[in-house]
Amino acid sequence: MTEQRIDLGLTATTPASGGCGDGCGCGAGGVASTPTTQAATSELRVEGMTCGHCVRAVTEELTALDGVEVVDVELHDGGVSVVRIASTGAASENDLAAAIDEAGYTLAR
């Protein structure tokens, strides 16, 4: 069994200085910061995924849902893959399950 992990590189970071991070000094007292929404995380176990195409299909279906910000897939070729989703809470568990089904895969029980 081959394990493949695809990092989508979608995690956002905030510079420690509180500014925009480009060295302009805006964090030193010029620009008010915008509050961020706390993302909820979900972890799904998905059967039937075998390759990068499978990962892309699942990722595309999930990111099409309102509120889904980040999808991370830990592919276990031919086994049960782990799909982690960070969302603002707009997508329900039923929405996530329907997206997995739409991509052609099933949730592991």
- CA 1: distance to chain centroid? 24
Q: Enumerate residues 6+ apart whose C-beta is below 8 A from 109.
A: none
42-84: per-residue pLDDT in tens? 999 999 999 999 999 999 999 999 999 999 999 999 899 999 9
CB atoms within 10 A of CB 48: 16
Q: Phi, psi (5° rounding) for residue 71?
A: -125, 130
- What CATH number should be reported for the domain holding residue 49? 3.30.70.100
Residue 9 pLDDT > 90: no
Percent of the chain with pLDDT over 90: 59
The answer to whether residues 105 and 94 touch, using CB atoms and an 8 Å cutoff, is no
- What is the domain range of residue 61? 3-107
What one-letter code names the amino acid at 3?
A: E
CA distance 43 to 34: 28
89 closest CA partner among 67, 107, 105, 73: 67
What pLDDT does residue 7 have? 52
Q: What pTM did the predictor assign?
A: 0.65
- Number of domains making up the chain: 1
